Structure 1
Amino acid sequence: MFRSRSKEAQSPATEPVEDLTPQRDPQAPKGRPTPKRREAQAQRRSISKPPADRKEAAKRAREARRADMARQRQALATGDERYLPLRDRGQPRRFARDFIDSKWHVAEFFLPIAVLILILSIVPSVQAKNISLVLWMGVIAMIVVDSVLTARRLKKALRERFPDENLRGVTMYAIMRTLQMRRMRLPKPQIARGESPRR
Structure 2
Amino acid sequence: MLSCACTLVSVNQSQDNTEHLPKGYTPKKGRPTPKRKEAEQHTGGFEARFAPQQSWSESRKERKALKASMSSEEWKEYKAKQKEQRKQRQREAQAGMDRGEEQYLLDRDRGPEKRFLRDFVDSRRYASNFVMPVALLLLVVLFVGQWAPTFASIASMAAMLMMLAFLVEGIVLGRSASKATREKFPDTNLRGSSMGFYAYSRATQPRRWRTPKPRVELGQKVV
TM-score (norm 2): 0.56
For residue 164 of structure 2, the aligned residue among 133, 141, 149 is 141
Deviations 1:38-93 (A, max 9, x none): xxxxxxxxxxxx99x7337xx9xx99977764443112221222332222111000
Superposition deviation, residue 142 in structure 1: 0.6
Deviations 1:117-156 (A, max 9, x none): 3333415223311221211211111111100110111111
2:215 matches 1:194: no
For residue 105 of structure 1, the aligned residue among 122, 126, 150 is 126
TM-score (norm 1): 0.62
Question: 1:107 is aligned with what amino acid?
Answer: S
2:101 matches 1:80: yes
Aligned partner of 1:12 in structure 2 is none
Q: How does 1:1-199 map to 2 (within 5 A)?
A: 54=59, 55=62, 69-121=90-142, 122-123=144-145, 124-168=147-191, 169-198=194-223
SS at match of 1:196: coil
Superposition deviation, residue 94 in structure 1: 0.3
SS at match of 1:97: helix
**Structure showing greater relative contact order (alpha-carbon pairs closer than 8 Å, 6 or more residues apart):** 1
Contact 1:106-1:143 within 8 A present in 2 as well: yes
Contact 1:71-1:83 within 8 A present in 2 as well: no
Identity %: 33
**Structure whose CA Rg is larger:** 1
Q: CA distance change for structure 1 residues 178 and 79 in 2, over 3 Å: closer, same or farther?
A: same
Contact 2:174-2:195 within 8 A present in 1 as well: no
Aligned partner of 1:41 in structure 2 is none
Provide the rounded CA distance (Å) in 2 between the counterparts of 1:90 and 1:110.
27
Greater shift in the superposed pair: 101-110 or 119-128: 119-128
Provide the rounded CA distance (Å) in 1 between the counterparts of 2:187 and 2:97.
27
Cα RMSD over matched residues? 3.1
Provide the rounded CA distance (Å) in 1 between the counterparts of 2:158 and 2:180.
33
Q: CA distance change for structure 1 residues 67 and 129 in 2, over 3 Å: closer, same or farther?
A: closer
Provide the rounded CA distance (Å) in 1 between the counterparts of 2:91 and 2:110.
17
Provide the rounded CA distance (Å) in 1 between the counterparts of 2:136 and 2:87.
36
Question: 1:136 is aligned with what amino acid?
Answer: A
